[in-house]
């Protein structure tokens, strides 16, 4: 909308397109609201991060090569709204160390931005006021620890008039999703998830915001298991709903 301020390419993701396509739609709408042209390149695929998690390096390289070829170079940033994907793509230089694609991977990784980082750097239009709501923000490990992104999503959420942001105890601890960890170590993942859900409930928040589809799924599961099925939304979904005047209090 208005004067174009930037042009970006969006990684659509693989799991997210199936489990939560609304996150991508919210991403496009929020970017457009703030003067950003969004292209979704054809031919893109899985980022390869799950293959990296399980040590399948050559498979990860094959997947990464698809994205190196698919993503345009004439954009200001490559946007991801899944912390695991962003972390994986920023590690392409390590994946291709000593390989012919190393320089290309370095240039690619330098343009990768989590949606919260890009919006914070860009500066967003202040959303309309929402009815008073308390939001607990959960730090996805692949965002906070792997990419050192903690303040930007909090700043975006706190900028919405009517939002009170609260911190979760032991915020630095994983929710138990952790890429493929909840598949490989389900019992430990369950224990970690239950602990995280308990800490979320203790905040008294009305809803939870985070930046990763895996965390969202894990949090919903364990909040429901403790009979507190709080809404769990992506940070960009909260912004989108605020801009459009939609209720924040559900996960649909």
Same domain? For 141 and 207 the reply is: yes
Same domain? For 55 and 151 the reply is: no
Establish if 147 belongs to a structural domain. Answer: yes
- The domain boundary residue, chosen from 78, 100, 120: 120
How far apart are the C-alpha atoms of 252 and 248, rounded to whole Å?
A: 10
pLDDT surpasses 80 at 61: yes
pLDDT surpasses 60 at 251: no
Structural domain count, the chain: 2
User: Which domain CATH number covers 133?
Assistant: 3.40.50.1860
Same domain? For 170 and 229 the reply is: yes
Q: What is the pTM of this model?
A: 0.94
What local confidence, expressed as pLDDT, does residue 17 receive?
79
User: Which domain CATH number covers 43?
Assistant: 3.40.50
- The domain boundary residue, chosen from 74, 89, 120: 120
pLDDT surpasses 90 at 82: yes
Establish if 1 belongs to a structural domain. Answer: no
Same domain? For 65 and 21 the reply is: yes
Same domain? For 207 and 222 the reply is: yes
What local confidence, expressed as pLDDT, does residue 1 receive?
66
Establish if 30 belongs to a structural domain. Answer: yes
Instruction: Please give the backbone phi and psi of residue 5, each rounded to the nearest 5 degrees, phi first.
Output: -100, -25
What local confidence, expressed as pLDDT, does residue 152 receive?
98
Establish if 63 belongs to a structural domain. Answer: yes
Domain extent for 238: 127-244
Summarize pLDDT for 143-182 with one digit per residue, the tens: 999 899 999 999 999 999 999 999 999 999 998 887 666 6
What local confidence, expressed as pLDDT, does residue 14 receive?
83
Q: What is the DSSP track for 136-199?
A: EEP--HHHHTTS---HHHHHHHHTSTTEEEEPPTTTTS--S-TTTHHHHSHHHHHHHHHHHHHH
Same domain? For 94 and 196 the reply is: no
First to last CA, the chain: 26
Same domain? For 56 and 104 the reply is: yes
The three-state secondary structure class of 82 is coil
Summarize pLDDT for 219-250 with one digit per residue, the tens: 999 999 999 999 999 999 999 999 999 999 75
pLDDT surpasses 70 at 252: no
Establish if 154 belongs to a structural domain. Answer: yes
Same domain? For 10 and 111 the reply is: yes
Same domain? For 102 and 139 the reply is: no
Contact 249, 205 (CB under 8 A): no
How far apart are the C-alpha atoms of 11 and 112, rounded to whole Å?
A: 10
Establish if 250 belongs to a structural domain. Answer: no
Establish if 87 belongs to a structural domain. Answer: yes
Summarize pLDDT for 2-20 with one digit per residue, the tens: 689 999 999 998 877 788 8
Same domain? For 165 and 107 the reply is: no
pLDDT band at 216 (very low <50, low <70, confident <90, very high): very high
What local confidence, expressed as pLDDT, does residue 182 receive?
64
């Amino acid at each position: 909308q208005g004067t174009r301020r930037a042009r970006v390419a969006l990684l659509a993701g693989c799991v997210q397109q199936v489990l939560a396509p609304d996150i991508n739609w919210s991403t496009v709408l929020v970017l457009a609201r703030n003067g950003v042209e969004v292209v979704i390149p054809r031919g893109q695929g899985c980022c390869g991060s799950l293959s990296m998690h399980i040590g399948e390096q050559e498979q990860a390289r094959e997947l990464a090569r698809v994205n190196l070829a698919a993503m345009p170079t004439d954009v200001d940033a490559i946007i991801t709204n899944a912390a695991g994907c962003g972390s994986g793509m920023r590690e392409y230089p390590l994946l291709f160390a000593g390989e012919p694609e190393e320089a290309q991977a370095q240039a690619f990784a330098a343009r990768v931005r989590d949606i919260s980082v890009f919006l914070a750097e860009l500066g967003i239009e202040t959303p309309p006021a929402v009815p008073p709501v308390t939001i607990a923000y959960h730090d996805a490990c692949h965002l906070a620890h792997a990419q050192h992104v903690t303040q930007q999503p909090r700043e975006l959420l706190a900028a919405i008039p009517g939002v009170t942001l609260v911190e979760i105890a032991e915020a630095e601890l994983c929710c138990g999703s952790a890429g493929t960890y909840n598949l490989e170590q389900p019992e430990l993942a369950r224990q970690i998830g239950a602990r995280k859900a308990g800490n979320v409930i203790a905040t008294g928040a009305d809803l939870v915001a985070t930046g990763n589809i895996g965390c969202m799924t894990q949090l919903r599961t364990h909040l429901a298991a403790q009979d507190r099925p709080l809404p769990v939304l992506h940070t960009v979904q909260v912004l989108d709903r605020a801009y459009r005047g939609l209720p924040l209090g559900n996960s649909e």
